Structure 1
Amino acid sequence: MTELPVKTILPRLRQALEEHHAAILTAQPGAGKTTVIPLALRSEPWLKGNKIIMLEPRRLAARSAAAYMARTLGESAGGTVGYRVRMDTRVSEMTKVEVVTEGVLTRMLQHDPALEGVGLVIFDEYHERNLHADLGLALTRQCQEVLRPDLKILVMSATLDAEPLSRLLNGAPILESPGRTYPVETVYAPKRPEEELEQAMARTIQEAMRAYEGDVLAFLPGIREIRRTERELGQLGLPGHIRVAAIYGTMPLDQQDEAIRPSAVSERKIVLATSIAESSLTIEGISIVVDSGLQREPSFSARTGMSRLITVRISKASAVQRQGRAGRLRPGVGYRLWSAEEQAALPEFSRPEIQAADLVPLALELAAWGAKTPSELQWLDQPPAAAYEQAVQLLELLGCIDYRGITEHGRRVHELGIHPRLGHMLLESRKLGLEEPASRLAALLQERDLFRASLGTDLRLRMDILEEQASGNLVRSSDIPDREALERLIRESRHWLNTVTADSPRRTAGGRGSDDCGILLAFAYPDRIGQSRGGGKFLLSSGRGAFLPGQELMSGAAYVVVAEADDQGSDGRIRLAAPLTEQELYSHHRSLMKEEELVYWDQSRRGVRAEKKLKVGAVTLKELPYERPSYELVAAALLEGIRRQGIQLLPWSKQSRQLQERMIFMHQHLPEWPDASDQGLLDTLEEWLLPYLSNQRSAADLQRLHIQDLLLGLLSWEQRQQLDQEAPTHVQVPSGSRIPVDYSRPDAPTLAVRLQELFGMRETPRLGLGSVPVLLHLLSPAQRPVQVTSDLESFWEHAYFEVKKDLKGRYPKHYWPDNPLEAMPTRRVKPRS
């Protein structure tokens, strides 16, 4: 311990924690912070005899760190140093340093918000920014501020942007420890264009082992790539003294322990690992790291409500962490399967999980904590609003929360410590005596799918294999690609069965458990009940489309429940599902059904249509006639139909259109007048049309309305009088004729009149309080325009004589005086004597 670089920072760290409520320690890989710091601080006076809780992101790292610290004290785990991980606990009354995984800390805080007996909480490898780390820090901060001002917080990381974290912790001091103990050489070895990833990894591992001494740690994105690389290495014909081991999160703990154990003296080891080996874990003998530069991370789509694992490039910070594994105990080398140019383009840090994960578990944790919204806590990154709102809606659908907060059912789901979807399913299964198949289904859905390559999408086939294996009937090896993983699933299912039946007698519904798979799955995924659209395509209750990738037994099912689908394209590809019959849906999921009363405008029928629909989300189960919809609903649908098809749906006459145009003219010049334009009338249908609707339900019924009367209803008595005066329907001209005014152009109302009828009229008629001259269309005896003017006086003085000359030649019998202002107007060929 004394040789590790982090020891030099201990005096400053002790002082920082004595003087402040929190501190941040950044230390490069190999500095020893995980195993040195907790032991060095366990007897500090400010702890007041309380213990230290240290969080590790992964179970393997937590157990390994606890075991190492215990050995340095000459003890075994469970004494001064202990650990708590899922389904494995070693602590005692002597324990002063307790290493836990981050989900365990959340549980501890939920059961004891004051964290009595704890003096310091250490968040190790915080740079990984998983969801439980952010949640644990937010809850611990509130505990510190509200209940435990004496509680200390220490955040440790090798690669971290510390300034934002310091601000979150009210200016916590930032301490930096020296770098790794031994130098690590970097070798850029990009994958060849013709190679698959696994081929390039196997080749590079072989080249590295020829060039350098020591064991190899190779980073791959997932289990599939680990298995393929293992096969590629086998085809290369490795010498007998080279052993290949694997490390990934779902491996049995004893196999994980075996993988990190030192090699024998005459042996060399290749460890193929996911990002589980990226931090907090020293694998003895490793001096070579081969990095694919890839990792799996969850990606949640708020658009579809579905999560999926995607393969992404790692960040620069992760590349440093991975390479640092080679310099823990001796000088090393790090091979990177990308170029120096690609290295420069990598993001600085990995995306925090809180920005890309399914937030349903987080929302339930906050509800159990008593927080109405995430804003009640302090976060380094706030949960995305859309994803969080979707999580809340699902919890409401599952009955876990309501407007008051967490429900009693929600508390029982929360206590199970499983995803709320599966917790709700487990509790509901008790009502039907389906605890055993529900426990198997929960185990299957919690872990990666072992059977994707061999069993298609049908969850029932997986349930059958699990049931047969659990009952002692050995299943063909060809159906089980990973028998150890299958045994782990069986252990998991037994755990959930014991948990869910702990306080009630166990019952069984009889028959094969897979028969009820669809019923149970619908409890967990009420938003993914799919109705057939034919051809293996389904409409989900969430409104999302989904399809089966090939012809399966389920392709012809009327209903399915989708446990997993991707987020590609307009319809998601179903990966895991089970069929559900209509009878099962009605018998067991009636609470999901809502009766929707629909009154709407049917454009094809040009009328209002009323119907009732029994629905599960977006899926319609039944359609029934809606016999007596309310007047208000019918009228609203009728108005919507008019808006959609236009104001011309109403029974317009020539007179009503002229009235509308006159009102538009007045509105243009007197803005206080109502807007009678088509758009103005559409915008105010509720004001002028709705009061006159009674039994109308179609365009034909609307023909009974008198639009002219309705428009006049918009005007006061004074406005009606003013309308007749300032926008009259006709203007009387000197001949005595009453000529209709055309208001189709509100800026220039038009009067089309024979020129001879205007003899003696000097000025142009004016409308709109005298502000608008009429546009005169002067006509020949044959009613053809010969001149357009809005200045009649000027016309008589100038243009008339040219017009007269032309008209006199064409109409010689007509009266064409030399002085039109003194001549007698006439509607005839010549005026009467």
Structure 2
Amino acid sequence: MNKLPIAEVLPQLHATLQERNCAILVAQPGAGKTTQVPLALMNASWLQGRKILMLEPRRLAARAAARYMAKLLGEEVGQSIGYRVKNDTRIGSKTRVEVITEGILTRLLQQDPALEGVGLVIFDEFHERSLHADLGLALTRQSQTVFREDLRVLIMSATLDGKAISAMLDDAPVIESEGRSYPVDTHYLPQAVSGKLEPAVVSSIHKALQAHAGSLLVFLPGAAEIHRVEKGLGALNLGNNVEIAPLYANLSIEAQDRALAAVTKPGHRKVVLATSIAETSLTVEGITVVIDSGLMRVPKFSPRTGMTRLTTVPVSVASADQRRGRAGRLGPGVCYRLWTETEHRQLPPRGTPEIREADLAPLALELAAWGVSDPAELVWLDPPPAAAYGQARELLVQLGALHENALTPHGKRVAALGLHPRLAHMVLQAIPLALGALACELAVLLSERDVMRAADRDADVRSRIEVLRRAPSGEARADVDVGLCRRITAEANILMQSLGVRPSDCSAEASGLLLAFAYPDRVAQRRSAGRFTLSNGRGAVLQELQPLSQERYLVAAELDDNGVDSRIFLAAPLSEEELFSVFHQQIRKEQAVEWEGATGSVKAIERWLLGALTLKERPIHEPDLDLVLHALLEGIRTESLDILPWSRSARQLQERSQFLHQFIENWPDLSDETLLATLEEWAGPHLYGVKSKGALSRLNLTSLLEEMLTWEQRRQLDEWAPTHMSVPSGSRIPIDYSNNEAPTLSVRLQEMFGLADTPRIAKGRVPLTLHLLSPAQRPMQVTKDLASFWREAYFEVKKDLKGRYPKHYWPDDPMSAIPTNRAKPRI
């Protein structure tokens, strides 16, 4: 133990934790922090006989670390050193160090906020910044502050911003240790990978096996890529001395142990195909070469859609360095990076903390169980995003788990199950329906990756339940992951046992009913074959036509949030009877009386609504007249006032009134905008019982507009803005008020002979704009100064008109001429 680099800082770490209750250890890969620090501190006096909890991000790392420490002590796991992970616990009464996964710490804190039997909590590989690690640290810090000032917290990592975490922990000391690693020769590609990733990886493995001795560790984004690379390597016939060993979280413990174990036969080599699970904490024996695809798969939650999808993203520089370091643990090594140096310079320095991009429903549930409604009550390195957190709390309210910032009795049961709140709610709702066993199967099934590998697999969840039940007997299709099926079955049985539910082989037909409890926002209604609308308003699609494509209702358990329509990956049908049974409290029944533009009429219907979905509707034969009136008025606003039966007199009345609106204070505003805004006041009383555009034609708009004026205003209107003007010929010519700033009188020139000045209105304030017309009623002159026209322009106009209309009367002196509305005046 003393030969490892971490030994140099252990005395400083002892002394720091003797004086302070928080410390940060930054130790490079190979320093020995994961296995040496707990052993060095387990007998410290300041622990006062209490145990150490060490958090690891992954179950595989937790088990491996515990086994290695127990081996160093010459013991079996479960004695001084133990571990506790989901569905697997190896601890005893003498256990002094417990290696646990991060979610376990949250459960322990909820059960005992003071952590009475614990003296030190170690957060290992904290740079990974999982959601549970951030939550665990926030809760532990409050436990320190409120209950246990003597509780120690140690943050450990190889790639960590120590200053930022130190500031969060009241300027906790930062202790740094140099790691022990050998030089690693790093190679980049001359140009970026084009096409699919797997052929490039297979080619790199083949070349590395020929060029180097020792075993290989290959980093790939996920299990699907691992299986494709494994298949590609199988086609190369590498020989019996090369073992291909997959390594990812969903493998059985035995398969994971085989991948981590050293090669025992002389001359044999191993190619470990791993996800980022092998990036930290684990030592894979015998590795001298690392091949890094440069990709990793992370979950990203969209508050816009309320959905989480796995996204393949480039690794960060910190992750790439961690991966490269795996080749230099035992001696000089080689790392092949399947990207260019130019691409490397564009990588982010660190990964994004999960709390910024994750579904926060589990976090919101844990905080509510802790008694916190506002995350700001706790200290965070990165606080939960407000939008995602708000949406998470809305979901808990919808599931009946949260009410007025506190957990309901149902919410407490949901929190106790340790499942995602959606799935826990589903299981609890299923038990009274005698569907508990099926719900447990679904809950575990939906917590794991798909058991069916084929790319063109159908989306029906029921088919997964069927293969799950056939797998133990060996009756499974070639595209089914039998090992994963058996593990899901085992975990489902554990869940059933904890709930007192008996295993059952009841039909999977009720899957849709159960999924509706878990995903009330993802009930989908068919709008065409394979295309659906979700109850949250989003679109969804089954990309390949399949039996589910024709179902009227589905519940989508898994889908992405790409594009206009999200692709549905897992779903089950839901009958209308089941839909109304599950959501009878959420279904809204409302009368909708609306204007229908296509028919130009008011449509009255009764609707049953669930979120954005209209489940059914029927016509209302005698709708409420007030609702009809409101719909009609909204229809008029939609269509504009042109839908009303405007006569020439009505429009002229409006225009005359608007003309006076400019001059007389408090004169009513009869503009189209104001009339639309005040429809209820001036038109409403006359529209009761009117349901269509055709019925509107019976309105007398002139009378309605006149009613908006007082008797005195009507008198003023006639006096100040007359409808007609009498001209010298004796004709009464209508005045055009369409331009209320310049009312117009269009009159034949000959009818104005003898009139010296321009006629005026508005008590002489406004001269009319005269459109002087030819005998053919065409404008020949526009003027507001008639006297000037007679003096200056008439004689030129006369020459033109006399030549074109020789039979008409064109006197030399228009002021003494007789006005006429005929060709020539009568003598």
Question: 1:136 corresponds to which residue?
Answer: 136
8 Å contact from structure 2 (residues 110, 369) kept in 1: yes
Secondary structure of 1:542's partner?
A: coil
CA distance in structure 1 between the aligned counterparts of 2:481 and 2:821, rounded to whole angstroms: 106
Task: Decide whether aligned partners of structure 1 residues 546 and 803 sit closer, same or farther in structure 2, where only a CA change above 3 A counts.
Answer: closer
CA distance in structure 2 between the aligned counterparts of 1:291 and 1:317, rounded to whole angstroms: 13
CA shift, 1:78, in A, is 3.7
Question: 1:596 corresponds to which residue?
Answer: 590
Question: 1:416 corresponds to which residue?
Answer: 417
CA shift, 1:146, in A, is 4.9
Q: How does 1:73-88 map to 2 (within 5 A)?
A: 73-88=73-88
Q: Deviations along 1:66-112, whole A, 9 cap, x unmatched?
A: 33334444444444443321112234454444322111122223233
8 Å contact from structure 2 (residues 81, 95) kept in 1: yes
CA shift, 1:322, in A, is 0.8
Task: Decide whether aligned partners of structure 1 residues 256 and 716 sit closer, same or farther in structure 2, where only a CA change above 3 A counts.
Answer: farther
Question: 1:250 corresponds to which residue?
Answer: 250
**In the alignment, structure 1 residue 794 sits paired with structure 2 residue 795:** no
CA distance in structure 1 between the aligned counterparts of 2:93 and 2:214, rounded to whole angstroms: 41
Q: Deviations along 1:224-274, whole A, 9 cap, x unmatched?
A: 222232333333333434333222111222332332233326243322211
Equivalent position amino acid for 2:336 in 1: Y
CA shift, 1:294, in A, is 1.5
CA shift, 1:408, in A, is 1.8
Q: Number of paired residues?
A: 824
Which segments of 5 or more consecutive residues in structure 2 lack a partner in the other structure? none
CA distance in structure 2 between the aligned counterparts of 1:626 and 1:814, rounded to whole angstroms: 70
Question: 1:268 corresponds to which residue?
Answer: 269
2:558 to 564, 568, 580: 564
CA distance in structure 2 between the aligned counterparts of 1:259 and 1:39, rounded to whole angstroms: 26
Which segments of 5 or more consecutive residues in structure 1 lack a partner in the other structure? none
CA distance in structure 2 between the aligned counterparts of 1:46 and 1:91, rounded to whole angstroms: 22
**In the alignment, structure 1 residue 528 sits paired with structure 2 residue 528:** no
Equivalent position amino acid for 2:452 in 1: F
**In the alignment, structure 1 residue 445 sits paired with structure 2 residue 453:** no
Task: Decide whether aligned partners of structure 1 residues 814 and 229 sit closer, same or farther in structure 2, where only a CA change above 3 A counts.
Answer: closer
Q: How does 1:190-201 map to 2 (within 5 A)?
A: 196-201=196-201
Secondary structure of 1:764's partner?
A: coil
Secondary structure of 1:30's partner?
A: coil
CA shift, 1:53, in A, is 3.1
CA distance in structure 2 between the aligned counterparts of 1:381 and 1:58, rounded to whole angstroms: 21
Question: 1:320 corresponds to which residue?
Answer: 321
2:508 to 514, 527, 530: 514
Q: How does 1:722-737 map to 2 (within 5 A)?
A: 723-733=717-727, 737=731
Equivalent position amino acid for 1:430 in 2: I
**In the alignment, structure 1 residue 490 sits paired with structure 2 residue 489:** yes
CA distance in structure 1 between the aligned counterparts of 2:535 and 2:586, rounded to whole angstroms: 10
Question: 1:818 corresponds to which residue?
Answer: 813
Task: Decide whether aligned partners of structure 1 residues 813 and 73 sit closer, same or farther in structure 2, where only a CA change above 3 A counts.
Answer: closer
CA shift, 1:219, in A, is 0.9
Secondary structure of 1:280's partner?
A: coil
Mean CA deviation greater in 711-720 or 210-219:
711-720
Mean CA deviation greater in 766-775 or 576-585:
766-775
Question: 1:370 corresponds to which residue?
Answer: 371
Q: How does 1:162-311 map to 2 (within 5 A)?
A: 162-169=162-169, 171-172=171-172, 174-189=174-189, 196-264=196-264, 266=266, 267-311=268-312
CA shift, 1:366, in A, is 3.1
Equivalent position amino acid for 2:109 in 1: L
CA distance in structure 2 between the aligned counterparts of 1:547 and 1:812, rounded to whole angstroms: 80
Secondary structure of 2:284's partner?
A: coil
Instruction: With the length of structure 2 as denominator, give the TM-score of the two structures.
Output: 0.89
CA shift, 1:785, in A, is 2.5
Task: Decide whether aligned partners of structure 1 residues 576 and 812 sit closer, same or farther in structure 2, where only a CA change above 3 A counts.
Answer: closer
8 Å contact from structure 2 (residues 467, 476) kept in 1: no
CA shift, 1:164, in A, is 4.7
**In the alignment, structure 1 residue 779 sits paired with structure 2 residue 773:** yes
Task: Decide whether aligned partners of structure 1 residues 770 and 420 sit closer, same or farther in structure 2, where only a CA change above 3 A counts.
Answer: farther
CA distance in structure 2 between the aligned counterparts of 1:671 and 1:345, rounded to whole angstroms: 69
Question: 2:109 corresponds to which residue?
Answer: 109
**In the alignment, structure 1 residue 665 sits paired with structure 2 residue 667:** no
Instruction: With the length of structure 1 as denominator, give the TM-score of the two structures.
Output: 0.89
What is the percent sequence identity of the aligned residues? 54
Q: Deviations along 1:267-289, whole A, 9 cap, x unmatched?
A: 43322211111111122322221
CA distance in structure 2 between the aligned counterparts of 1:610 and 1:480, rounded to whole angstroms: 53
CA shift, 1:498, in A, is 1.1
Q: Deviations along 1:593-638, whole A, 9 cap, x unmatched?
A: 3323322111122111111122343443322223443344323322
Secondary structure of 2:325's partner?
A: helix
Question: 1:540 corresponds to which residue?
Answer: 534
8 Å contact from structure 2 (residues 84, 104) kept in 1: yes
Question: 1:640 corresponds to which residue?
Answer: 634
Task: Decide whether aligned partners of structure 1 residues 227 and 827 sit closer, same or farther in structure 2, where only a CA change above 3 A counts.
Answer: closer
CA distance in structure 1 between the aligned counterparts of 2:577 and 2:708, rounded to whole angstroms: 57
**In the alignment, structure 1 residue 652 sits paired with structure 2 residue 646:** yes
Secondary structure of 1:335's partner?
A: strand
**In the alignment, structure 1 residue 577 sits paired with structure 2 residue 536:** no
8 Å contact from structure 2 (residues 182, 328) kept in 1: yes
8 Å contact from structure 2 (residues 24, 173) kept in 1: yes
Question: 2:157 corresponds to which residue?
Answer: 157
**In the alignment, structure 1 residue 500 sits paired with structure 2 residue 499:** yes
Task: Decide whether aligned partners of structure 1 residues 780 and 579 sit closer, same or farther in structure 2, where only a CA change above 3 A counts.
Answer: closer
8 Å contact from structure 1 (residues 600, 637) kept in 2: yes
Task: Decide whether aligned partners of structure 1 residues 500 and 628 sit closer, same or farther in structure 2, where only a CA change above 3 A counts.
Answer: farther
CA shift, 1:200, in A, is 3.0
Mean CA deviation greater in 86-95 or 730-739:
730-739
Task: Decide whether aligned partners of structure 1 residues 555 and 780 sit closer, same or farther in structure 2, where only a CA change above 3 A counts.
Answer: closer
Task: Decide whether aligned partners of structure 1 residues 195 and 606 sit closer, same or farther in structure 2, where only a CA change above 3 A counts.
Answer: closer
Question: 1:57 corresponds to which residue?
Answer: 57
8 Å contact from structure 1 (residues 592, 616) kept in 2: yes
CA distance in structure 1 between the aligned counterparts of 2:95 and 2:762, rounded to whole angstroms: 95
Question: 2:458 corresponds to which residue?
Answer: 456
Question: 2:475 corresponds to which residue?
Answer: 476
CA distance in structure 2 between the aligned counterparts of 1:721 and 1:125, rounded to whole angstroms: 90
Secondary structure of 1:349's partner?
A: coil
Question: 1:465 corresponds to which residue?
Answer: 467
Task: Decide whether aligned partners of structure 1 residues 761 and 26 sit closer, same or farther in structure 2, where only a CA change above 3 A counts.
Answer: farther
Q: Deviations along 1:460-496, whole A, 9 cap, x unmatched?
A: 23322333455xxx23354464332222122012012
Secondary structure of 2:122's partner?
A: strand
8 Å contact from structure 1 (residues 191, 197) kept in 2: no
Measured on the aligned residues, the alpha-carbon RMSD in Å equals 3.5
Question: 1:338 corresponds to which residue?
Answer: 339
Mean CA deviation greater in 654-663 or 480-489:
480-489
8 Å contact from structure 2 (residues 294, 339) kept in 1: yes
8 Å contact from structure 2 (residues 807, 823) kept in 1: no
8 Å contact from structure 1 (residues 525, 562) kept in 2: yes
8 Å contact from structure 1 (residues 435, 501) kept in 2: no
8 Å contact from structure 1 (residues 599, 629) kept in 2: yes
Secondary structure of 1:704's partner?
A: coil
CA distance in structure 2 between the aligned counterparts of 1:715 and 1:17, rounded to whole angstroms: 88
8 Å contact from structure 1 (residues 755, 779) kept in 2: yes
CA shift, 1:292, in A, is 1.3
Task: Decide whether aligned partners of structure 1 residues 721 and 52 sit closer, same or farther in structure 2, where only a CA change above 3 A counts.
Answer: farther
CA distance in structure 2 between the aligned counterparts of 1:213 and 1:69, rounded to whole angstroms: 29
Task: Decide whether aligned partners of structure 1 residues 70 and 725 sit closer, same or farther in structure 2, where only a CA change above 3 A counts.
Answer: farther
8 Å contact from structure 2 (residues 5, 180) kept in 1: yes
8 Å contact from structure 1 (residues 455, 461) kept in 2: no
Equivalent position amino acid for 2:467 in 1: I
